[in-house]
């Protein structure tokens, strides 16, 4: 069995995907289940999603920077394959933060914009997961 020590890019991708999973699928539902009103839970969820956006942007930028380092050709090819998912995930996070979240906070057509926000969040989660999978598969080979 090979000595397996994940690279920095694998750890960063794990942080990105893990933070999305934790905030979106555990913490925010717990807020709505345990806080006294949906308004209080919604305000706190908005703050958490804003923080998550910046985590996604920082992780994405770090992943893009680490994909350019001196690595064996096979790892560079895997990183380049993940680049599309990294950039897409970052753009989805920024789109959610600056186009969708203000409409949700303003309660403009709340069902529509909440649904759009959820779709963008799931798509970002999918991009982060594929990035993590591609980088982890590149390390295992």
Output the pTM of the full model. Answer: 0.87
Mean pLDDT computed over 111-118? 96
Q: Are 20 and 128 in contact (CB under 8 A)?
A: yes
Q: Are 6 and 136 in contact (CB under 8 A)?
A: yes
Q: Are 49 and 96 in contact (CB under 8 A)?
A: yes
Residues 25-75 have pLDDT tens digits of: 999 999 999 999 999 999 999 999 999 999 999 999 999 888 765 555 455
Half-sphere exposure of 108 (CA within 13 A, CB side): 9
Per-residue pLDDT at 82 = 83
Helix axes 8-22, 110-140, angle to 10 degrees: 150
């Amino acid at each position: 069995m090979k000595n397996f020590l994940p690279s920095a890019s694998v750890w960063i991708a794990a942080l990105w995907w893990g933070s999305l999973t934790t905030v979106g699928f555990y913490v925010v539902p717990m807020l709505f289940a345990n806080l006294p009103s949906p308004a209080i839970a919604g305000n706190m969820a908005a703050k958490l999603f804003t923080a998550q956006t910046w985590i996604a942007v920082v992780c994405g930028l770090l992943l893009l920077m680490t994909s350019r380092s001196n690595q064996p050709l096979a790892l560079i090819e895997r990183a380049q394959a993940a680049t599309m998912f990294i950039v897409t995930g970052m753009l989805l996070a920024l789109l959610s933060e600056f186009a969708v979240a203000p409409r949700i906070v303003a309660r403009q057509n709340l069902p529509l914009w909440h649904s759009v926000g959820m779709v963008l969040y799931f798509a970002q989660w999918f991009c982060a997961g594929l990035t993590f999978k591609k980088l982890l598969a590149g390390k295992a080979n």
